[in-house]
Amino acid sequence: MLRALHAIQRLRVFELLPFKAPTHLLVDYFGGMEKVDVVRRIFGERTEEVLRSLRVEFTWMRGYMRVSNVDGHIIVSSHYMNNGDKVDIYLDLIHELVHVKQFMEGKELFDTDYSYVERPTEVEAYRCAVEEARRLGLSEERICQYLKTEWMTDQSLKRLARVLNVTC
């Protein structure tokens, strides 16, 4: 399903729909991110500038968060935002901010030459999220719980955890 969504996104099918979901300034919903050390390391001197202009879209679609490969804004499932674990939402936001930077650098976010857990852009984003999870004091077990997604097999989780030096 994730591959289908990415293919639809690449084809820009959503742009053909007669309506567009409104976007909002990220800072209106996730204020204070410019003060977070890991976010400052992601964007460096441009942190405030990037975060002030970054848009977020809340969608009815289920899922978590992702970055639009059309214009680089963050798309968040309203259901996830309202019902998800707050720590997971925070770590996902860190993960997606890495993707925003990658988009700004012109990197291919959804390179299908790699499996999800081996894709360099995903590994980099998960590495930042895991670094922040450790700073927050999350246990290895809790970090593994964060890393696991429904589209990831147990074998894939083990591969990702090994690359990130997480004991699952």
- Residue pLDDT, tens place only, 89-128: 999 999 999 999 999 999 999 898 999 999 999 999 999 9
- Tokens matching residue 121: 């852009």
Q: Is residue 7 domain-resident? A: no
Q: Which pLDDT value is given to residue 122? A: 96
pLDDT at 79 over 60: yes
Burial of 150 (0-12, 13-18, 19+ CB in 10 A): exposed
pLDDT at 29 over 60: yes
Q: Which pLDDT value is given to residue 7? A: 52
Question: Would you call 22 helix, strand, or coil by DSSP?
Answer: coil
Q: Which pLDDT value is given to residue 151? A: 85
pLDDT band of residue 20 (cuts 50, 70, 90) is low
> d(Cα 58, Cα 86) in Å, to the nearest integer?
16
Give me the mean pLDDT over the 45-68 stretch: 93
Predicted TM-score (pTM) of the model is 0.87
Which residues constitute the domain of residue 120? 21-164
Say how many domains are in the chain.
1
Dihedrals phi, psi of 121, to nearest 5 degrees: -65, -35
Question: Would you call 91 helix, strand, or coil by DSSP?
Answer: helix
pLDDT at 158 over 70: yes
